[in-house]
């Protein structure tokens, strides 16, 4: 009994939400063993905790055991059998250890206790984290919700396939079924059926005027048939089955690969029957299975037309039309389009107009300057081809505009729009294609210009696997630093909710009172500006909440959500932006954000102490792959939501130019640098 009293004294019991909140209000480091009622606290580590507590005899360190079943704040930890230890520094989560691992627990306790003492003495600031396991789960759930929002349930197209009496008589039913399943056809129902004369006449009613009708009826009633219900994907099974079957008439080429060439004997004994159309298939389904309800499948919602809020540079979105739309599979797809440097410089607006006219949504766009080595890395699969050096030279001679396009059949449509890879072939065989219409200008040897005329100016992903590779290369997940300044600190909870609603994930938080030294380091790029001291004074006048945000378009996405530096301008042009809602003037403008990914990394190291804050744990292969993006120079980082205005960069360029002359912050769409001329802050 004495042993039990010692354990209870060592770990404070928490069984209600009220007790949980009271414990988190205390100063110091508290290590909480989160357990389930059915299994109890982790007894294996009690001895370790007692030894550490006895050896250190430190009142700043305390231990608790919290029953997840009765604490609402721990609802996400319920039902887990693995021991979980949460480390709180004065009510803020600072570490998580899963599993009864004494060496890791002891090391974490000593490190966080030392840190807590430094914080309480005012020598350091606390870095709050989110449980990485819960964060990963939230990310997965958000992706699943987003996927479901982009999909809808539709009835699956079903085709009736009748294997005729001659096939059953020959014993080749299983052989035909194997041929169908090898082509991806799924058979969801099958039954044997012997036609009566009336049924056969009714089933083939549309052929009643044909001279062979009565012989067909006699043949179909001569023995049992096998009825199959076939599906493949959401739709298209009727068309695909007819293509697999081939001609219905006799005299089929024996070398033909269609099923009737393999199994048919003559016009009538042609082995298999399938409806000619979806309407006929529905009639036949009702004939054999009058009560059958087709299964439902989830498909991407069709979003063919992009509606622009206004006319930008005379470019309007139109209903898709033209020869490139034929025979493209249904379902929303993504594809990556690249405008090589000369296309970006000479034809960007015209190409963007053609993209809009084809019904594409520009989901993301980014202008990057590739080095020769990065170009070689990107086109590494072409390393042994004769045009490799020429291609990589073209790709690295100026900024490349990368676009992530979305619409139904995106990969195939964009591939068709581009035309042949070789410019000369494109001009000869597909003069209306983009590669023919937007070809390299003829070089001027007198000016020392080299010819790259065989290299086209546009690139497109050709497969979905290539799309994913291109997305990872040009649009990797980014981190950015966001700050809620002292003037908006009272509204921090509302602002954080806006941030989360915009699809950002708060990977780390640090709530601090900035010292003048740290404020000057953060804004060292503005030290020569006349407003510098006013800015430093404002930032040290109260508490600031710093966050590491992650998202595919984190840097530009956060700058867009912030809005222009001047809250008055933000209210006019972007009334839903954070600065429009919470900003007061160009100095007290509520929030702050990194200019680019490099500045974000520097800010993370400066404010959070470690450069990997906000990064998920990576395998060696993933880390190596991420290295592909290091050093890629971003001249412009413009990332647009899926229904955002096309070619907005033209307008943003003009605005940024005007505002820079007035001393205001450049538009976030123009890739401002730390040396940009700004009034209150940059980034």
Do residues 579 and 591 make contact, with C-beta atoms less than 8 angstroms apart?
A: yes
Residues in CB range of 288: below 8 A, 6 or more apart: 160, 191, 193, 227
* Spans of all domains in the chain: 2-124, 155-298, 323-440+449-474, 478-637+647-670
Q: Tell me: is residue 485 an annotated ligand-binding position.
A: yes
Bridge partners of residue 635, in order along the sequence: none
Q: What is the DSSP letter of 79?
A: T
Q: Per-residue pLDDT tens for 275-302?
A: 888 888 989 999 999 888 888 887 766 5
Q: Which of 400, 379, 281, 247 is nearest to 337 (CA)?
A: 400
Q: What is the DSSP letter of 1?
A: -
Residue 294 has what pLDDT? 87
Residue 682 has what pLDDT? 39
Q: For residues 579 and 563, give the distance between their C-alpha atoms in angstroms, rounded to a whole number.
A: 6
CA angle 385, 389, 393 (to 5 degrees): 140
What percent of the chain has pLDDT above 70?
80
Whether a cis peptide bond, with omega within 30° of 0, leads into 683 is yes
Q: For residues 32 and 97, give the distance between their C-alpha atoms in angstroms, rounded to a whole number.
A: 10
Q: Which two tokens stand for residue 573?
A: 């042009």
Query: Could you give the C-alpha distances from 219 to 147, 216, 249, 269, 659, in angstroms and in order?
Result: 50, 5, 16, 8, 84
Catalytic residues: 273, 459, 592
Do residues 683 and 674 make contact, with C-beta atoms less than 8 angstroms apart?
A: yes
Instruction: Compute φ and ψ for 427, nearest 5 degrees.
Output: -65, -35
Threshold 0.85, pTM exceeds: no
Higher model confidence: residue 436 or residue 314?
436
Residues in CB range of 649: below 8 A, 6 or more apart: 365, 636, 638, 669, 670
Q: Which helix (H) or strand (E) holds 390?
A: helix 388-395
Q: Per-residue pLDDT tens for 112-130?
A: 999 999 999 888 888 888 8
Q: Per-residue pLDDT tens for 626-678?
A: 444 333 443 333 333 332 332 333 333 333 333 333 333 333 223 332 233 33
Q: For residues 663 and 669, give the distance between their C-alpha atoms in angstroms, rounded to a whole number.
A: 17
Q: For residues 112 and 116, give the distance between their C-alpha atoms in angstroms, rounded to a whole number.
A: 6
Residue 617 has what pLDDT? 53
Question: Hunting for tokens 């599979």 — which residue is that?
Answer: 329
CATH top class, domain 323-440+449-474:
alpha beta
Mean pLDDT of 393-418: 87
Q: What is the DSSP letter of 677?
A: -
- Asked if the domains 323-440+449-474 and 478-637+647-670 are classified in one and the same CATH topology, the answer is yes
Residues in CB range of 257: below 8 A, 6 or more apart: none
Cα dihedral 197, 198, 204, 209 in deg (nearest 10): 90
Q: For residues 361 and 317, give the distance between their C-alpha atoms in angstroms, rounded to a whole number.
A: 10
Residue 32 has what pLDDT? 96
At the topology level, CATH places domain 155-298 in Alpha-Beta Plaits (3.30.70)
Work out the pLDDT band at 260, boundaries 50, 70, 90: confident
Q: Is the pLDDT of residue 109 over 60?
A: yes
User: Which bin fits 86, alpha (ψ -120 to 50), beta or left (φ > 0)?
Assistant: beta
Work out the pLDDT band at 327, boundaries 50, 70, 90: very low
Q: For residues 385 and 679, give the distance between their C-alpha atoms in angstroms, rounded to a whole number.
A: 52
Question: Hunting for tokens 């989560």 — which residue is that?
Answer: 93
Mean pLDDT of 131-145: 81
Q: Per-residue pLDDT tens for 55-69?
A: 999 999 999 999 999
Q: Tell me: is residue 498 an annotated ligand-binding position.
A: no
Q: For residues 139 and 142, give the distance between their C-alpha atoms in angstroms, rounded to a whole number.
A: 5
Q: Which of 519, 558, 568, 567 is nearest to 637 (CA)?
A: 558
| Residue 233: Cβ-neighbour burial (10 angstroms; 0-12, 13-18, 19+) | middle
Q: Tell me: is residue 360 an annotated ligand-binding position.
A: no
Query: Could you give the C-alpha distances from 668 to 372, 557, 594, 677, 682, in angstroms and in order?
Result: 28, 9, 10, 13, 10
Count of alpha carbons within 13 angstroms of residue 188, beta-carbon side: 18
Q: For residues 489 and 582, give the distance between their C-alpha atoms in angstroms, rounded to a whole number.
A: 10
Residue 2 has what pLDDT? 45
Q: For residues 401 and 347, give the distance between their C-alpha atoms in angstroms, rounded to a whole number.
A: 11
Q: Which two tokens stand for residue 135?
A: 């964060």
Q: For residues 392 and 385, give the distance between their C-alpha atoms in angstroms, rounded to a whole number.
A: 12
Q: For residues 47 and 33, give the distance between their C-alpha atoms in angstroms, rounded to a whole number.
A: 14
Q: Which of 644, 657, 652 is nearest to 669 (CA)?
A: 652
Residues in CB range of 655: below 8 A, 6 or more apart: 667
Q: What is the DSSP string of 274-298?
A: E-SSHHHHHHHHHHH-TT----EEE
Q: What is the DSSP string of 596-646?
A: SHHHHHHHHHHHHS-TTTTPPP--HHHHHHHGGGTT-EEEEEE---TTSPT
Highest mean pLDDT among 98-102, 329-333, 549-553, 642-646: 98-102
Work out the pLDDT band at 452, boundaries 50, 70, 90: very low
Q: Tell me: is residue 178 an annotated ligand-binding position.
A: no
Q: What is the DSSP string of 423-445?
A: HHHHHHH-TTSHHHHTPPPPP-G
Q: For the domain bounded by 478-637+647-670, which CATH number is listed?
A: 3.30.70.141
Q: Which of 391, 357, 359 is nearest to 374 (CA)?
A: 391
Q: Tell me: is residue 531 an annotated ligand-binding position.
A: yes
Bridge partners of residue 154, in order along the sequence: 297
Sheet strands side by side (includes 591-593): 128-129, 505-513, 543-551, 478-484, 591-593
What percent of the chain has pLDDT above 90?
31
Q: Per-residue pLDDT tens for 160-187?
A: 999 999 889 889 999 999 999 998 999 9
Q: Tell me: is residue 525 an annotated ligand-binding position.
A: no
Q: Which of 41-45, 345-349, 444-448 is the least confident region?
A: 444-448
Domain 2-124 coded CATH 3.40.30.10: yes
Distance of CA 525 to the CA centre of its chain: 33
Count of alpha carbons within 13 angstroms of residue 34, beta-carbon side: 25
Mean pLDDT of 512-522: 89
């Amino acid at each position: 009994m004495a042993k039990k009293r010692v354990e209870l004294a060592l770990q404070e019991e928490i069984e209600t939400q009220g007790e949980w909140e009271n414990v988190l209000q205390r100063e110091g480091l508290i290590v909480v063993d989160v357990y389930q009622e059915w299994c109890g606290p982790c007894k294996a580590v009690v001895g370790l905790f007692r030894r550490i507590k006895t050896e250190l005899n430190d009142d700043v360190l305390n231990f608790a055991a919290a029953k997840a079943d009765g604490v609402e704040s721990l609802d996400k930890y319920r039902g887990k059998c693995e021991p979980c230890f949460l480390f709180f520094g004065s009510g803020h989560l600072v570490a998580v250890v899963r599993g009864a691992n004494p060496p890791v627990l002891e090391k974490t306790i000593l490190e966080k206790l030392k840190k807590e003492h430094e914080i309480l003495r005012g020598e350091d600031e606390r870095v709050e984290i989110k449980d990485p396991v819960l964060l990963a789960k939230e990310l997965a759930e958000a992706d699943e919700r987003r996927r479901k929002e982009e999909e809808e349930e539709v009835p699956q197209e079903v085709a009736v396939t009748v294997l005729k009496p001659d096939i059953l008589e020959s014993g080749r039913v299983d052989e035909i079924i194997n041929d169908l399943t090898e082509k991806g056809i799924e058979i969801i129902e099958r039954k044997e059926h012997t036609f009566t004369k009336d049924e056969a006449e009714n089933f083939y009613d549309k052929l009643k005027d044909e001279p062979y009708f009565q012989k067909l009826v006699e043949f179909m009633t001569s023995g049992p048939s096998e009825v199959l219900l076939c599906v493949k994907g959401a739709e298209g099974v009727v068309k695909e089955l007819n293509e697999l079957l081939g001609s219905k008439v006799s005299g089929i080429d024996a070398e033909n690969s269609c099923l009737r060439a393999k199994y048919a004997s003559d016009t009538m004994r042609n082995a298999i029957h399938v409806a000619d159309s979806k309407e006929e298939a529905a009639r036949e389904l009702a004939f054999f299975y009058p009560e059958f309800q087709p299964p439902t499948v989830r498909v991407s919602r069709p979003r063919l037309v992009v509606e622009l809020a206004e006319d930008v540079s005379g470019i309007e979105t139109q209903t898709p039309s033209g020869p490139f739309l034929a025979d493209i599979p249904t379902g929303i797809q993504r594809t990556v389009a690249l405008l090589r440097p000369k296309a970006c410089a000479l034809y960007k607006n015209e190409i963007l107009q053609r993209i809009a006219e084809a019904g594409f949504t520009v989901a993301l766009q980014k202008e990057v300057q590739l080095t020769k080595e990065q170009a070689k890395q990107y086109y590494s699969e072409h390393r042994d081809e004769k045009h490799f050096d020429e291609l990589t030279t073209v790709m690295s001679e100026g900024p490349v505009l990368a676009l992530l396009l979305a619409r139904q059949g995106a990969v195939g449509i964009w591939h068709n729009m581009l035309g042949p890879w070789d410019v000369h072939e494109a001009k000869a065989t597909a003069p209306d294609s983009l590669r023919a219409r937007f070809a390299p200008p003829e070089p001027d040897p007198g000016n020392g210009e080299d010819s790259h005329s065989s290299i086209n100016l546009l690139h497109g992903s050709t497969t979905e696997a290539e799309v994913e590779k291109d997305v990872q290369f040009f649009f990797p997940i980014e981190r950015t630093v966001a700050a809620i300044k002292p003037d908006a600190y009272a509204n921090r909870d509302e602002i954080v909710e806006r941030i989360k609603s915009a699809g950002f994930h708060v990977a780390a938080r640090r709530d601090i009172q900035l010292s003048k030294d740290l404020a000057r380091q953060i804004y060292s790029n503005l030290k020569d500006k006349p407003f510098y001291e006013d800015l430093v004074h404002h930032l040290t006048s109260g508490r600031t909440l710093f966050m590491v945000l992650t998202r595919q378009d984190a840097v530009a996405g956060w700058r867009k959500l912030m809005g222009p530096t001047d809250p008055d301008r933000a209210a006019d042009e972007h009334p839903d932006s954070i600065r429009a809602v919470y900003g007061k003037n160009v100095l007290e403008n509520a929030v702050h954000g990194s200019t680019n990914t490099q500045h974000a990394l520097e800010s993370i190291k400066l404010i959070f102490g470690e450069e990997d804050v906000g990064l998920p744990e990576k395998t060696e292969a993933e880390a190596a792959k991420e290295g592909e993006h290091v050093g890629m120079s971003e001249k412009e980082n413009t990332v647009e939501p899926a229904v955002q205005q096309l070619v907005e960069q033209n307008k943003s360029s003009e605005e940024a130019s005007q505002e820079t002359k007035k001393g205001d912050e450049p538009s976030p769409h123009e890739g401002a640098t730390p040396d940009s001329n700004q009034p209150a802050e940059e980034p």
